[in-house]
Amino acid sequence: MPAFLYEHALDPLGEIEQYQKQHLRPGSYGATTNFIGTMRDFNAGDDVQLMTLEHYPEMTQKFLDKLCDEALEKWDLVDCLVIHRFGDIKPGDPIVLTVAWSAHRVEAFDACRYLIEELKARAPFWKKETTGDNERWVHDAPSG
């Protein structure tokens, strides 16, 4: 049930495979769901060349650890995992990964959705985009 913050590149599918090998017993789960958030090269009608993700390190870690605990309390999960990037990110780079493992699909879908929605609504990260010669803070997170 860990949460990790990476400044380096994130390989979401590699992380899932590695976590399963290291921490989960084969046969102990029947459903794995994941959400992968990836940086777009466009936003609000403009081309975006670079994004810098600022965060409040101690609070982010505390928040994400608590979020994983909440998911494990709310649903009958085998385990869950959250990984989020910070620092400079390029278009096409994965930004965030949430994963839920459970015996059956309903719990895994619901928990995975909960993890990403709560993260987006409350985890203390802030995106700054570079568009051409300009930099701008992203002010709102689209609901989709």
Partner 1 sequence: MTIQVKFFASLREKLGMESASVEPGAAMTIREIWDQVTTTDYPVNTLCAINMDYAKPDDIVNDGDEVAFFPPVTGG
Give me the residues that bind partner 1 (CB under 8 A), please.
37, 53-56, 58-59, 62-63, 84, 95-96, 116, 119-128, 137-141
What does the alpha-carbon distance between residue 96 and residue 33 come to, in Å, rounded to a whole number?
14
Q: Look at the block and give the residue holding tokens 């084969």.
A: 26
Which residues face 129 on adjacent strands? 51, 136
DSSP state letter for 45: T
Give the nearest distance from C-beta 102 to partner 1 in angstroms.
22
Give the nearest distance from C-beta 42 to partner 1 in angstroms.
16
Contact 95, 89 (CB under 8 A): yes
**CB nearer partner 1, residue 10 or residue 95:** 95
What CA–CA distances, in Å, run from 60 to 22, 65, 70, 119? 25, 8, 15, 10
Give the nearest distance from C-beta 122 to partner 1 in angstroms.
6
**CB nearer partner 1, residue 108 or residue 127:** 127
Q: Compute, in degrees rounded to 10, the torsion defined by CA atoms 128, 124, 122, 112.
A: 90
Give the nearest distance from C-beta 3 to partner 1 in angstroms.
12
**CB nearer partner 1, residue 86 or residue 103:** 86
**CB nearer partner 1, residue 84 or residue 99:** 84
**CB nearer partner 1, residue 38 or residue 49:** 38
Give the nearest distance from C-beta 116 to partner 1 in angstroms.
6
DSSP assignment of 10-41: --HHHHHHHHHHHH--TTS-SEEEEEEEE--S
